[in-house]
């Protein structure tokens, strides 16, 4: 509950220096407290699909990723997930959630697309609005991010994007505008990137003109972590809080110097400090007088389990289903042999980076299908392909051998040293694996890290190792140097999220012999990613020679040929699809191995089903060879159960694509302008496609350019639209009325999609845009009349010269259907005179 504290009185009690200290974090997750003046701190936590806590190690519920939620087209579900995420945040002692992410899927290779919703700003903005409302209904702050146009990870801290104001207003800002005006999030996070020559955190046009003036919003603006790029510039532009702490650019001395030099006024400092205090008051922090009301806890709530399973299944999209091979109901497959191939024994629950979660558990498709179909089916398995980006870490639980730390117990020992000191400052035993990354932690600052364990391999061979560190790193086996990295890693962003390329080396091991493995890594110095400065982090991967060099494709073909049905599980694990890196390829990793696997299995078995777990569109060169495809996204910790529910028919699929699936990356609207080109050492990109993003682009091309259009999604039943009517309610509102019938034999749900556009075609304007949608569920044979409100402003375009939104006079077509390409009902309305909306 919001506090009734007198903010003016608190502000007046603070000295100038104290006000300045409020404008940067105290540490990685908390704001500064001033106990003597009654000012508390508040604690933030990531993120969009789960609350990670301070270091990401505390177990937490892992919800479906945003692209999976977007595929539900279900605003009620988005709100329920927001409410649950707020409850999860409380279990981590936090009252400030760093979510949702609403950047647009500009290009299929965007590394962080999975964390955001869609290529369409209307769908993105409305779903984000309901998610925010759910979060803030629990008294937890939502943070809409990353403001704005943070659509790529390549050089994301320095990329300079040239974007027209029209494209910004209609596409990239529009999702923010919808959610901010409707849901009023208490915080906005700026992007790392540069927009039209100015970093987002210092961009006065974005933060003062658009956000606070045009939209009338008055919450807190926080930098992305490590994304503050100026002292005076960011303060004057409207950035209230630099994160993380302690202060980097906003030290008291630097800000006082800026004030003394006339670059920043004390009035600006007062404004920024007031906003920080107002967030504290909204969160009721003055009553708690501490950043966290509870210690971090791992609470596995059954109602959250159920919601995650429900949402994961409802977001899955049935892309193809020839001869109704799906569903694989118990009666249909009794006594059959089903081959589960690829990622069947993996749980592709989430992407990588700050949206990854140490889930309470993860259900694999292998386990879930055994539970769903019991002993009535004979399941067989084949891995099928080498798809790992990096060799897996050695841990307590691995099939390669055993690991014992210096205390004689399972796991590794971590030892932290001050530079030039022979004895460790502190030691941690029983560590799960050979990887340590300092996201959210302070313990690695200016410390040398050693990770030590005694390894006993299960088999002899010239096994594979790969190692990388943030700073200079050495790998030893029995004190013999095996690998050395001189200086900082070449890809700090990839290293931070455990996805940087690593050189593989081989070492001869003998089974059942003990080998001491020791990794020594130094703090990064003068590293290009500021939040890693002075921190130590390292990763060690290991693979048995027999696994690394096995003929997996041949085995998969043999297994598939002897099965009645073959299900190939493809996708990206969190090292391939992650914050910090854009996609390596439009094709599934690695080096075509998964595409070759699907093609080989389909050649061996005509009843091949593909279940693809990615947060983005991918190439499907085998599309014509397989019988069915399910796009499963990243559905959270219940991923296996949700997949099994859809495959067996326990849940009738009702998801629809929130992004277009092009046939070729060359047909994507931003092709040739992603990720950009280097000019004088800086990466720059021109958003040359303008407003023609996603289906707005494909509408202008022949339909053979997409495998599956925006909004596409099949069902195990069938639906029909009829009796479309569009009526004008006022100059600002229309109502669509249409009848939906379930013409099949199963209960099911679908999405009515309403698009609108001026019938007078123009090369400057899209043919149509999504203006309304509704998820409807019907019994077999049921018919329902559905009403959809449409705002007249959503028919407008942004007039840059006039600085206004304009609805041209003329005839407008309202097109209703089940995808952007599957339109079955069209009605026209006449707008007799131009309508103008001011900012």
- How far is it, in rounded angstroms, from Cα 594 to Cα 388? 11
Beta strand 187-190 with 198-199: parallel, antiparallel or unpaired?
unpaired
Give residues with Cβ within 8 angstroms of 57, minimum separation 6.
358
> Helices 593-604 and 552-561 sit at what angle, rounded to 10 degrees?
30
- How far is it, in rounded angstroms, from Cα 406 to Cα 67? 44
Among 693, 714, 779, 789, which Cα is nearest to 120's?
693
Give the CB-side neighbour count of residue 276, counting CA atoms within 13 A: 36
- How far is it, in rounded angstroms, from Cα 312 to Cα 768? 30
Give residues with Cβ within 8 angstroms of 60, minimum separation 6.
50, 51, 52, 53, 88, 91, 92, 298, 357, 358, 359, 360
- How far is it, in rounded angstroms, from Cα 81 to Cα 77? 6
Question: Looking at 224, 346, 573, 595, which residue is catalytic?
Answer: 224
- Using alpha carbons, list the distances in angstroms from residue 322 to 408, 611, 629: 57, 15, 9
- How far is it, in rounded angstroms, from Cα 161 to Cα 598? 38
- How far is it, in rounded angstroms, from Cα 407 to Cα 158? 45
For residue 205, the 8-state DSSP code is I
- How far is it, in rounded angstroms, from Cα 385 to Cα 590? 9
Under 8 Å between Cβ of 146 and 95: no
Compute the chain's Rg from CA coordinates.
27
Residue 479 is a catalytic residue: no
- How far is it, in rounded angstroms, from Cα 522 to Cα 328? 54
Indicate if the alpha-carbon torsion angle 99, 105, 106, 108 is positive or negative: positive
Give the CB-side neighbour count of residue 332, counting CA atoms within 13 A: 12
Give the residue carrying structure tokens 């990109």. 685
For residue 615, the 8-state DSSP code is S
Is the bond leading into 246 cis (omega within 30 degrees of zero)? yes
Is the bond leading into 315 cis (omega within 30 degrees of zero)? no
For residue 133, the 8-state DSSP code is H
655 token code pair? 């998801």
Give the CB-side neighbour count of residue 664, counting CA atoms within 13 A: 6
Give residues with Cβ within 8 angstroms of 751, minimum separation 6.
73, 654, 656, 711, 713, 773, 774, 775, 776, 818
Under 8 Å between Cβ of 11 and 276: no
DSSP-derived 3-state class of residue 702: coil
213 token code pair? 């003036």
> What residue spans of 671-817 are helical by DSSP H?
695-698
91 token code pair? 């279990």
Give the CB-side neighbour count of residue 520, counting CA atoms within 13 A: 14
420 CB-contact burial (10 Å; exposed 0-12 / middle 13-18 / buried 19+)? exposed
For residue 127, the 8-state DSSP code is H
- How far is it, in rounded angstroms, from Cα 647 to Cα 369? 9
Catalytic amino acids? 224
């Amino acid at each position: 509950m919001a506090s009734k504290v007198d903010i003016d009185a608190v502000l007046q009690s603070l000295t100038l220096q104290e006000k300045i200290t409020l404008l940067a974090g105290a540490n990685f997750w908390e704001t500064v407290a001033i106990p003597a003046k009654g000012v508390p701190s508040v604690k933030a936590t990531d993120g969009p699909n789960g609350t990670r806590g301070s270091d990401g190690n505390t177990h937490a519920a892992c919800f479906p990723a945003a692209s999976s939620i977007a595929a539900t087209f279900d605003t009620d579900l988005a709100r329920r997930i927001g409410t649950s995420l707020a409850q999860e945040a409380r279990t981590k002692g936090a009252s400030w959630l760093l979510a949702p992410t609403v950047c647009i899927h500009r290009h299929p290779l965007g590394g962080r697309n999975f964390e955001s919703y869609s290529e369409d700003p209307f769908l993105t903005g409305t779903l984000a609005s309901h998610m925010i409302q759910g979060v803030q209904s629990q008294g937890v702050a939502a943070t809409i991010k990353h403001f704005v146009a943070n659509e790529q990870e390549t050089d994301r801290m320095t990329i300079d994007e040239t974007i027209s104001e029209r494209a910004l207003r209609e596409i990239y800002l529009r999702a923010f505008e919808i959610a901010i005006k409707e849901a009023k999030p208490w915080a906005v996070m700026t992007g790392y990137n540069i927009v039209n020559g100015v970093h987002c955190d210092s961009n006065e046009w974005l933060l003062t003109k658009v956000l606070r003036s045009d939209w009338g919003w008055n919450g807190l603006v926080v930098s992305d972590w490590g994304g503050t790029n100026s002292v005076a510039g960011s303060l004057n532009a409207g950035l209230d809080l630099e994160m993380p702490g302690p202060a980097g650019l906003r030290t008291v001395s630097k800000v006082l110097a800026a004030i003394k030099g006339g670059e920043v006024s004390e009035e600006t400092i007062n404004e920024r400090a007031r906003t920080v205090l107002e967030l504290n008051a909204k969160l009721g922090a003055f009553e708690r007088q501490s950043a966290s009301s509870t210690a971090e806890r791992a609470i596995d709530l059954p109602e959250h389990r159920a919601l995650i399973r429900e949402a994961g299944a409802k977001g899955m999209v049935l892309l193809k289903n020839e001869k109704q091979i799906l569903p694989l109901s118990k009666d249909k497959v009794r006594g059959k042999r089903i081959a589960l191939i690829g990622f069947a024994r993996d749980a592709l629950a989430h992407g990588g980076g700050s949206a990854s979660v140490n889930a309470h558990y993860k259900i694999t498709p292998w386990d879930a299908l055994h539970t769903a179909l019991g002993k009535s089916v004979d399941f067989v398995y084949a891995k099928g392909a080498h798809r790992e980006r990096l060799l897996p870490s050695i841990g307590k639980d691995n099939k390669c051998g055993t690991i014992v730390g210096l205390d004689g117990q399972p796991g590794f020992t971590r030892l932290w040293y001050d530079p030039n000191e022979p004895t460790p400052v502190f030691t941690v035993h029983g560590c799960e694996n050979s990887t340590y990354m300092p996201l959210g932690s302070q313990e690695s600052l200016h410390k040398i890290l050693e990770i030590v364990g005694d390894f006993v391999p299960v088999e002899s061979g010239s096994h594979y190792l790969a190692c990388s560190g943030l700073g200079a790193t050495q790998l030893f086996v029995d004190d013999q140097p095996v690998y050395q990295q001189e200086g900082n890693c070449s890809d700090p962003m990839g290293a931070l999220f455990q996805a940087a390329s690593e050189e593989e080396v081989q070492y001869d091991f003998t089974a059942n012999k003990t080998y001491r493995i020791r990794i020594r890594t130094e703090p990064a110095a003068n590293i290009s990613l500021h939040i890693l400065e002075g921190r130590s982090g390292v990763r060690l991967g290991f693979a048995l020679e027999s696994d690394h060099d096995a003929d997996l494709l041949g085995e998969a073909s043999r297994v598939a040929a002897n099965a009645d049905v073959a299900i190939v599980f493809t996708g990206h694990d969190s090292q391939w699809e992650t914050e910090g890196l854009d996609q390596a390829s439009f094709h599934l990793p690695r080096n075509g191995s998964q595409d070759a696997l699907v093609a080989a299995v389909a050649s061996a078995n005509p009843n091949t089903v593909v279940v693809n777990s990615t947060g983005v569109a991918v190439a499907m060169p085998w599309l014509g060879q397989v019988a069915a495809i399910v796009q499963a996204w990243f559905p959270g910790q219940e991923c296996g159960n949700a997949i099994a529910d859809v495959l067996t028919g326990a849940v009738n699929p009702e998801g629809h694509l929130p992004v277009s699936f092009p046939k070729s990356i060359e047909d994507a609207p931003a092709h040739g302008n992603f990720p950009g080109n280097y000019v004088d050492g800086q990466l720059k990109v021109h958003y040359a496609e303008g407003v023609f993003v996603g289906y707005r682009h494909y509408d202008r091309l022949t339909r053979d350019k997409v495998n599956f259009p925006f909004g596409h999604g099949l069902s195990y039943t069938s639906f029909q639209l009829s009796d479309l009517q569009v009526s004008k309610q006022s100059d600002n509102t229309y109502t669509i009325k249409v009848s939906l019938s379930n013409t099949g034999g199963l209960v099911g749900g679908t999405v009515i999609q309403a698009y609108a556009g001026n019938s007078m075609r123009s090369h400057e304007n899209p043919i149509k845009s999504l203006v309304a949608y509704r998820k409807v569920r019907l019994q077999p044979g049921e018919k329902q009349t559905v009403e959809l409100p449409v705002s007249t402003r959503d028919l407008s375009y942004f007039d840059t010269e006039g600085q206004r939104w304009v609805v041209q006079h003329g005839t407008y077509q309202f097109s209703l259907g089940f995808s952007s390409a599957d339109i079955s009902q069209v009605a026209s309305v006449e707008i007799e005179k131009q309508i103008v909306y001011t900012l």
